[in-house]
Amino acid sequence: MCLAIPAKVMVINGDKANVDFGQGVLREVNISLVEAKIGDYVLVHAGYAIQLIEEKDAQETLSLWNSILEAGQE
φ, ψ of residue 65 to 5 degrees: the values are -60, -45
User: Domains plus CATH for the chain?
Assistant: 5-72 (2.30.30.140)
The span from the CA of 61 to the CA of 74, in Å, is 21
* DSSP state at residue 38: T
List Cα–Cα distances, 26 to 10, 22, 39, 60, 64, in angstroms.
Answer: 9, 8, 14, 19, 19
- Of 50 and 73, the structure prediction assigns the larger pLDDT to 50
- pLDDT tens for 6-60 read 999 999 999 999 999 887 889 999 999 999 999 999 999 999 999 999 999 999 9
pTM across the whole model: 0.86
Can you say how many angstroms the Cα of residue 48 is from the centroid of all Cα atoms in its chain?
10
Residue 72 has pLDDT above 80, yes or no: no
The span from the CA of 17 to the CA of 31, in Å, is 6
